[in-house]
Structure 1
Amino acid sequence: MTAGGPLTVVEFTDPACPWAWGSEPKFRWLRTALAGLDGDRVGWRRVFGILFDEDDDPPPDPDAEAAWYHRYIADIARHTAAPYAPRLRWVARSSWPSSLAAKAAEAQGAEVAVPVLRRLRETTFLLGAPADRAETVLDAVTGVPGLNHARLSRDLVSGEVRAAVRRDWAETREPFPEVLAVTGPGPHPGRAKEVGERHRFALPTLVFTGPAGRAVVPGWRELGEYVEAAERVAPGVRLAAPRLTAAELLERHRSVTEPDLALLAGSAGPPPGAVRVDGAGGPVWLHPSEAATHPVLRG
């Protein structure tokens, strides 16, 4: 990184959030651009905000709720162009199990944690069966390269990991003043959500912090808004992500959507040799080794 000093990014998210799922191509671009900066003084931290909490009231009619939420996801996909499951079998009963697993995977390094979180997102948005119990979470991530599955199963139920996610829960419910009254065009400008007697950051929200201060980019935003925020708080930084071929993109990420291909590879064509999984709104392309263990093809 240049002499501007450290730049940190905090991502408020949830594995089952449809806006976060739709934002993944832009966040992949940002992570790639940040990784290309000189030095190692750039950090990216995920905060799991718990979209579906343990003490939420159960729906009186789970099937009707699933049908309504599926329509909600479809409406969001009209803005994000993200694929989604043709049928949602149920709404996640709790975000805790998947968030605990995603947090626990971080102890095994980003090369493991990122694909673990991707798999957990895909149980909702490809399979239509959200991983919302410890056993379904562990099943969903079976076969992720480099994952120590036995360690994850232990860490998933540890007090240390649960305390870390509880801290994430609390941090998400202490939104900054600048997001309490956000207004603006678009379907999801990112105003903090009322949850009971508190507010929480809208999901997703990125917070950029650098030598020149803090910039908060909440909700559904264009890529340029994230880039401008990062460069504003870290003067001297210029973000650019290298353009990959479709094959290189698949090799790096193992699971790519058409918006991924358009933004990161400039390609409308599928990666050669990829396994196609058709969702509503478009396909997802899986690396053959990813397809061999992916729950959407096992299920």
Structure 2
Amino acid sequence: MAGDPSVEVVEYTDPLCPWSWGSEPVLRRLRAALTGQVRWRRVYCILFDHDDDPAPDAAAETAWYSRYVEDISGHTHAPRALRLSRVAASSWPASLVAKAAELQGPEVAERVLRRLRETVFVLGEPADTPVLALSAARGVFGLDPARLASDAASAGVLERVRADHAEARRPVRELLSAQDGSPHPGAAKETPDGRYRYALPTLLLRSPAGVRAVPGWRSYEDYAVAVDTLAPGLLPDPVTLEAAQALDRYRSLTGPERELLTHGPWPPAGAVRIDTGNGPLWLHPAEAATHPATGRSAPAAP
């Protein structure tokens, strides 16, 4: 997202992170409000890393993680899969594909990242191999799939994700502890090698006035205060879109996103409803034509 080079927003995230998925409504609203105002950069933290110890009982781990995701979705109201097939083996494939998609422009990158998130939280089949991550992006509007596959396998993209991995493990000191009333306050997480990484999601805002970190599960107002502290007057009042315009722009909307980003009668004509374990996901009809979830889709209903 291009903009004023003196103001940067760094988003620490992972395509397969349940708190990042649940934060999408608020972060989509913030990104829309700041379009053209700041430089927005994503850092893929690798939530599921190569050096994580394998679970001694994969079925028990999946059952535990399913309950964990269900608990998070209770806070965020985000969709969750009716059944999770397994815990992701690795975040590297999805992160490489998401980083490679950035080379095709911000709109394509947003749509590819969204598809990667939905593999876990709508389909229950995490994109944790190169084949699955590339398959998730198939049919994304404006995407060159051959280029995506080539770029995702390139040394250049691998180095960029390695740099993200390292950056995410240098959290600002103030986040080594974070205590407040949020169900996910965002204190930095200890890694198996004894270091720390940013909790996900975390936004780090930089301007000539200083640096401000906003970690964990936050309201739009929390982010707005942080932006206004560092760059007073930069953030305009958020604007919602008429339902059909919003679905055309975002291609995929959850219930919380419908409430936060749209106005007017719902659903728009042609919208395709995907039922999940925690409310519907709504797809633009062109998105539904290539989306892997449409095998379980149903016609839109009021």
Shorter chain as normaliser: what TM range? Answer: over 0.9
After superposition, residues 5-16 of structure 1 pair within 5 angstroms as 6-16=6-16
The separation in 2 between residues aligned to 1:25 and 1:241, in whole angstroms, is 12
CA contact (8 A) 2:37 2:234 kept: no
The separation in 2 between residues aligned to 1:241 and 1:272, in whole angstroms, is 25
1:247 matched to 2:244: yes
Query: In structure 2, the residue corresponding to 1:208 is in which secondary structure?
Result: strand
CA-CA distance at 1:271 after TM superposition: 2.8
CA contact (8 A) 1:54 1:94 kept: yes
After superposition, residues 7-156 of structure 1 pair within 5 angstroms as 7-35=7-35, 40=36, 42-156=38-152
CA-CA distance at 1:235 after TM superposition: 2.3
CA contact (8 A) 2:244 2:268 kept: yes
1:276 matched to 2:273: yes
1:189 matched to 2:185: yes
Distance 1:5 1:145, change over 3 A: closer
1:206 matched to 2:203: yes
Residue in structure 1 matched with residue 165 of structure 2 by the alignment: 169
Which structure 1 residue ranges, 5 or more long, are not aligned?
Answer: none
The separation in 1 between residues aligned to 2:217 and 2:37, in whole angstroms, is 27
CA-CA distance at 1:237 after TM superposition: 1.6
CA contact (8 A) 1:227 1:239 kept: no
CA contact (8 A) 1:217 1:229 kept: yes
The separation in 1 between residues aligned to 2:235 and 2:155, in whole angstroms, is 41
Q: Deviations over 1:9-42 (max 9, x none)?
A: 000000010000000011110111011xxxx451
Runs of 4 or more above 4 Å deviation: none
The separation in 2 between residues aligned to 1:225 and 1:41, in whole angstroms, is 18
The separation in 1 between residues aligned to 2:282 and 2:8, in whole angstroms, is 31
Q: Deviations over 1:203-256 (max 9, x none)?
A: 000011112111100000111000110111112323322221111110000000
TM-score (norm 2): 0.93
Residue in structure 1 matched with residue 300 of structure 2 by the alignment: none
Query: In structure 2, the residue corresponding to 1:146 is in which secondary structure?
Result: coil
Q: Which amino acid aligns with 1:209?
A: R
CA contact (8 A) 2:185 2:217 kept: yes
Residue in structure 2 matched with residue 289 of structure 1 by the alignment: 286
Distance 1:115 1:214, change over 3 A: same
Residue in structure 2 matched with residue 235 of structure 1 by the alignment: 232
Percent identity (aligned) = 55
Residue in structure 2 matched with residue 158 of structure 1 by the alignment: 154
CA contact (8 A) 2:5 2:39 kept: no
Distance 1:191 1:295, change over 3 A: same
Distance 1:255 1:5, change over 3 A: closer
Distance 1:166 1:269, change over 3 A: same
Q: Which amino acid aligns with 1:128?
A: G
Q: Which amino acid aligns with 1:162?
A: L
CA contact (8 A) 2:34 2:235 kept: no
CA-CA distance at 1:150 after TM superposition: 0.3
CA-CA distance at 1:261 after TM superposition: 0.8
Residue in structure 1 matched with residue 299 of structure 2 by the alignment: none
CA contact (8 A) 2:94 2:128 kept: yes
CA-CA distance at 1:90 after TM superposition: 0.6
The separation in 2 between residues aligned to 1:251 and 1:69, in whole angstroms, is 33
Residue in structure 1 matched with residue 221 of structure 2 by the alignment: 224
TM-score (norm 1): 0.94
